[in-house]
Structure 1
Amino acid sequence: MKYGRVMYESRVHDVVEVDGKVQLRDGRLLDEQEVEWLAPVEPQTIFTLGLNYADHAKELSFTSPLPEPLVFFKGKNTVNGHLGKTVRPNDVEFMHYECELAVVIGKSAKNVNKEDALDYVKGYTIANDYAIRDYLENYFRPNLRVKNRDGCTPVGPWMVEKDDIDDPMNLQLRTFVNGQKTQEGSTKDMILGVAELIEYLSSFMTLNEGDLILTGTPKGSVDTKVGDEVVTEVEGIGRLVNTIVGE
C-alpha cells in the first residue's frame, strides 16, 4: 500500500494510491494535479548521509573509506512536496539534485542491533536532496546553506510500507532532467545499508517515530537550471517531480 498526505479543499488529507489516482478517505478519486502534495509523513528529525555510495565518493575523489559515517541534520523548513518548486538562488553556479531512498522510522529505537533494525522501519519514500556546491566549505563541515534552504528537499509523493519492499538494498534509483536520464544507480552500492545506519544512529541517540533517514545518492549529480523539471525515481516506490524556479 502507498500512503500520502495532500492539501485539498483547504484541508490536509491522508490519502492512498489506487490505480494511479489519489483516493481520499471518503472514497473520492482525484488526479495528482488536483491536489497540493505534502511530504507523506510529517518529519521529525531529518538525517542526511553524505558520501554513502562508493561510486559517488569516488566521483568526488574520496578513494579511501571514511573513518565513520558522514551525517548531518536538515530542518523541517527544507521539506517540499511532489510537483513542488525549489528556488535556485541567483548568485550560484552549481546546484544539483540527489536522488535518495528515504527511510521512515516507525517507533522509538535506541541501541538497536542491525539484525533487528528493519523492525523499526515504517516504510520508505523518495527524497531529492538538492545541494548548492557554491556554499560548500568541505564535505566534513557542510555549510548550513548547502542543504538547508527552504523547500530544497522534495519528499514523496508516497510512502510505501516496509513489507511491500522485498529488499531495500536492491532498488534502482534514477534521475531525469527535462526527460533525459542523468543519474542511475542501485541501493546495493551503499557503503552503509539501511540496517547499519539505524544501528549506528541509535547507538548514541534515540530515533523516534517519523524520523527520516536520507541514505545518500549514487554518482551522476549534474547542475540544474531555472525551468528544469527534475524527476527522481526509486524502484517500487514511484516518481517524485520537482521544478527549479528563480528567486
Structure 2
Amino acid sequence: MVSLLLLLLLQGTEAKMDIITSKQDVLVGQEILMLCQKGDITWQKDGEDTEEEEKVSTMDETSSKLHKKATMQDAAKYTCRCDFDSGHQDEVQKTLSTYEGPSFGGTSTYHEFLEGTDGVVPCQVTGQPAVDVHWFRDRQEISTNAGRRVRHLPDNTLLIQGVRREDAGTYTCHAEIRGRPIVKQLAISVVVNGQYLFHIKIQLMAGPETNVTFLCLVAGHPQPNITWTM
C-alpha cells in the first residue's frame, strides 16, 4: 500500500508552520496520512471540522494524525490549526487532489479488417476527473479533422475509411487525466486482409491411363496457405 504523508513541523511554541508532502495528487484507494505536531490541534477540510470517519487521533500530548483511504471526495483544502498556551493561534493549509484511472477496461488490442471496408477501432477509457484521449501512429498524432480518411472520432474511436494495406500496424490510444501529468497508453494492432482472387485450371488428357491436372492460383494478402483434399 502506497501512503501519502503530510508532515507539519513546528519549532518553538509560535514557530512558522509548514506542510511537507511527498505528492499532492492521490490515487483513489491509496492511503492519506497527515501528521500535525505541537499545540492544541484541530483539523478542517474545506473550512469545516473533519468528520469522525476521517480517523483523527492523538499520537501523544503534542501530535495528531488524520489517516484514511483516499476517495474522490477527499479532494479538498486541509487546514491544521494550532492553539498555543500563550494564546497565539496559527494554521497552515495544503490542497490535495485525487484521481482514479485512466483505465482501458475491456478495450480489444487486436483488430482485423478486410481491405476496402471501413474499420472502427474503439478505445474505451474511464477515469476521474475527465480523461483526454489522443490517438497516435508512429509517434504522429491522428487528426480529428472530419475530412481525413483516418481520423479520431468524438467518442474516442479510431475510424479508418476504405482500409488499405498500408493501414496495417500498431496504433496507440493515449489517455491523460485532464490538466495533470497522469498518463496511460494502450497499443492496439490492426491487421489488413486483402481480397483473394482464385483461378482454377483443369487439364484432361485422354488415353488408357488418363492424366488429370488441376492448377489452383490464388492471389491475396496475407499470403494464403493452399491445401488439397479428395
Q: Report the TM-score when normalising by structure 1.
A: 0.19
| Bigger radius of gyration | 2
Give TM-score scaled by structure 2 length: 0.20
